[in-house]
Amino acid sequence: MRVLEDLEDFYYLMHPLRVFILVSKDGRGRVNFMTVAWAIPASSDPPMVAAAISKECYTLKALRETGEFVLAIPTVEQLGKVWKAGTLSGFKVDKSGIFKTRKALKVKVPIIEECIANIECKVRRMIDCGETMLVIGDVIAASYDEKAYDEKLRVQLYKAKILSHLQGKLFLLYEAKTYKPT
C-alpha cells in the first residue's frame, strides 16, 4: 500500500459520494441551492441527517438565519443544474431560478420538483469541523417519486439514474447490478 503524504486529500479515498442539492432560504426569503456530496443519514430514531458545509458559503449564512433546509436527490438529467448550484457562489449570484420548486410539506424552504426525493429538515445543531460546519438536521418530512423507488424504498437505478461525485468535474452514474454476500 502507498502512504498518502498530504492528509488534506484523504477524502478523495472516500469518493465516489452521492450528490445532493441542499436547498436553503435566507432571512429575506431568497432561495439558494448548493450541491453537496458530504451528506449522510445521521440517525433513524430520531430521524436526522448531517451535511458538512463550508464556513465561507452563502448556504451556511442562510441556515443560521432560518434554521431550515431540504436535501434533494437529483439525477443525471439535472447534471448541468447540479454543476451550476455547486460552482456559483450565492454571495455573488442569485441561484433561486436554477431548479423548479414547489411548496414543501412542513418547512418554509421549497422542495425541488424535478428531484426524485426531498428530505425536509430543521437544523438541530452545528458543529465546528475545521473549514466546515457539520450541520445536523432533524428530518420532519420527506417525499419521493414512486417511479424511482420500489416498495421497500430501494432506489431503482435503471429508472432513477442517481449521481455520485468522483472528483472535480467527474461524476458517476450508477446503473443497476446488485450483489449479495455469499
Domain that holds residue 124: 7-173
- In the predicted model, is pLDDT for residue 170 greater than 90? no
Classify residue 1: in a domain, yes or no: no
Q: What is the DSSP letter of 66?
A: H
Q: For 41, list phi and psi in degrees, rounded to 5.
A: -65, 140
- The span from the first CA to the last CA of the chain, in angstroms, equals 27
Of the pLDDT bands very low, low, confident and very high (cuts 50, 70, 90), residue 178 is: low
Classify residue 81: in a domain, yes or no: yes
Residue 16, preceding bond cis, omega within 30 degrees?
A: yes
CATH number at residue 45: 2.30.110.10
Of the pLDDT bands very low, low, confident and very high (cuts 50, 70, 90), residue 176 is: low
What pLDDT, on the 0 to 100 scale, is given for residue 112?
98
Least confident of 2-11, 52-61, 96-105, 171-180: 171-180
pLDDT digits (tens, 9 = 90+) for 12-42: 888 788 999 999 999 999 999 999 999 999 9
Classify residue 22: in a domain, yes or no: yes
What pLDDT, on the 0 to 100 scale, is given for residue 68?
98
Classify residue 21: in a domain, yes or no: yes
Whether 58 and 90 have beta carbons less than 8 Å apart is answered as: yes
Distance CA 66, CA 28 (A): 9
Classify residue 182: in a domain, yes or no: no
The helix or strand, by DSSP H or E, that contains position 87, with its residue range, turns out to be helix 79-87
Task: Tell me the whole-structure pTM to 2 decimals.
Answer: 0.91
Classify residue 179: in a domain, yes or no: no
Classify residue 2: in a domain, yes or no: no
- In the predicted model, is pLDDT for residue 6 greater than 80? yes
Classify residue 63: in a domain, yes or no: yes
Q: Which three cell numbers stand for residue 157?
A: 437505478
Q: What is the DSSP string of 102-119?
A: E--SSSSSPEETTSSEEE
pLDDT digits (tens, 9 = 90+) for 85-130: 999 999 999 999 999 999 999 999 999 999 999 999 999 999 999 9
Tell me the sheet residues that pair with 128. 133
Q: How far is CA 28 from CA 24, 70, 94, in A?
A: 11, 17, 13
Say how many domains are in the chain: 1
Distance CA 116, CA 150 (A): 12
Q: Which residues contact 14 (CB under 8 A, 6 or more apart)?
A: none
Q: Would you call 30 exposed, middle or buried from its count of C-beta atoms within 10 A (0-12, 13-18, 19+)?
A: middle
